[in-house]
Amino acid sequence: MKYEDYVDLSYKPKKSDLICHFYLDVRGRERIEKAAGAVAAESSIGTWTEIATVKRYVLKNAAKVFSIESVGKLRRKANIKIAYPIELFEPGNMPNILSSIAGNVFGMKEVLNLRLNDIIFPEKIVKSFPGPLFGLNGVRKVIGVYDRPLLGTIVKPKLGLNTKDHAKVAYEAWIGGCDIVKDDENLSSQSFNKFEKRLKETLKMKKKAEKETGEKKVYMINVTAETKEMLRRAKLVAESRNEYLMVDVITAGWGALHTLRNENKNLKLVMHAHRAGHAAIDKSPVHGISMKVLARIVRLLGCDQLHIGTAVGKMFETKEEVLANREALLCDFYGMKKVMPVSSGGLHPGMVPALWKIFGKDVVIQMGGGIHGHPKGTRKGAIAARQAIEAAVKGISLRKYAETRPELKEAIKQWGVVVRV
């Protein structure tokens, strides 16, 4: 089969097909049909030339380009859709699936740019993955908060604090009103803050904060490491009677994440997914893999929470992109549990009205510098952030609510208010 033979615009996808939506930008004078066929061929059964080893029965597993919609007038760019027979994939094997549909195709000479914008997984593939153990509703049950966004922070500075100071920062945030405190993505078990000692000291402060506030508090400790070491750390977290772990899903790898989720059947920890490294994959609008696709994968592999952008903070995504990411976590997915969206990156209390408009109540709002950078310190910063959430839920403007709340007033003076998105 030649590359063009993989294009069949009359094909009607089967329910069992895995369907990929790509943006394709062809190189030089390549025809769009040939380049689209090349993507389908190289991600299924084909190669660059005719080969004698193809048996007739192999041909039924060829991927098919069934839609080409030109972008612009020159027919150099297009949105294409490719259907893949389910037989091409090993159930429950995400590295296998992505090695096919998101592997060598990005480096082919016919392709100038290629972006995997979405994947429609068939039910049989979805059911072969574990999905979240807790999901959005389970997270709510663990924390015991149902009527508002959850408030979180990240210990700052992200690196350098010793164990006792790390735990003290966490305590101040919890006392001020944070539900959640988490490690930053690059804190693991460095010499100045060893994992085991940090777990012990921070949980001690967590219990103290719970006793003093009467509220459930959460600590998300980062277990990311070589896979066996990651599993060992996760086991330590469970043995310490903590409820949460955090994992850097992209840098850890999809196979390692799946292994962690399988182990979590017994550990029963809420899995918080940090997306460190995602922008190397999804930032370009014309090449790579969209965050929406990554969100679908994280949901399949069993995380209960995932960072998806802010639209108002320091991250690059637009409101439309963030909403698409959110939809991937909350949409019906053959009965699979929903994932709690997490908004994090350059946030402060003055952004809560905008975040409320985007997410509603089902979100973890995480502020790092927006809490620890408060003029009166971490505790006051957490109080201000909690007050901002209270105002949003009650439908009261931040400036009005701040008239009798000095902590929020100071935060607004420091960073202002963002209402529009």
Structure tokens at 334: 């053959």
Does the pLDDT at position 293 exceed 90?
A: yes
Written as one string, the DSSP assignment of 278-335 is: THHHHSSSSSEE-HHHHHHHHHHTT-SEEE---SSSSS---HHHHHHHHHHHHS--TT
Read off the pLDDT of residues 150-206 as tens digits, 9 standing for 90 and up: 999 999 999 999 999 999 999 999 999 999 999 999 999 999 999 999 999 999 999
Q: How far apart are CA 40 and CA 119, in angstroms?
A: 14
The 3-state secondary structure of 39-56, one letter per residue? HHHHCCCCCCCCCCCCCH
What does the pLDDT look like over 248-275, one tens digit per residue? 999 999 999 999 999 999 999 999 999 9
Q: What pLDDT is attached to residue 52? A: 81
Residue 151's φ and ψ, nearest 5 degrees, are -110, 125
pLDDT band at residue 1, thresholds of 50, 70 and 90? confident
pLDDT band, very low/low/confident/very high, at 51 (cuts 50, 70, 90): confident
Q: How does the average pLDDT of the chain come out, rounded?
A: 96
> What is the per-residue pLDDT for 135?
98
- Report the pLDDT averaged over residues 331-345: 97
Find the largest Cα–Cα distance for the chain: 80
Average pLDDT over residues 330-334: 97
Please list the active-site residues.
156, 274
The model's confidence at residue 23, banded by pLDDT at 50, 70 and 90, is: very high
Whether residue 315 is predicted with pLDDT greater than 90 in this model: the reply is no
Domains (ranges, CATH) in the chain? 3-127 (3.30.70.150), 135-415 (3.20.20.110)
Compute the Cα dihedral for 24, 30, 32, 34 and give only its sign. Answer: negative
The pLDDT, as a whole number, for residue 48 is 79
Give the pLDDT band (50/70/90) at residue 367.
Answer: very high
> Does position 307 have pLDDT exceeding 90, yes or no?
yes
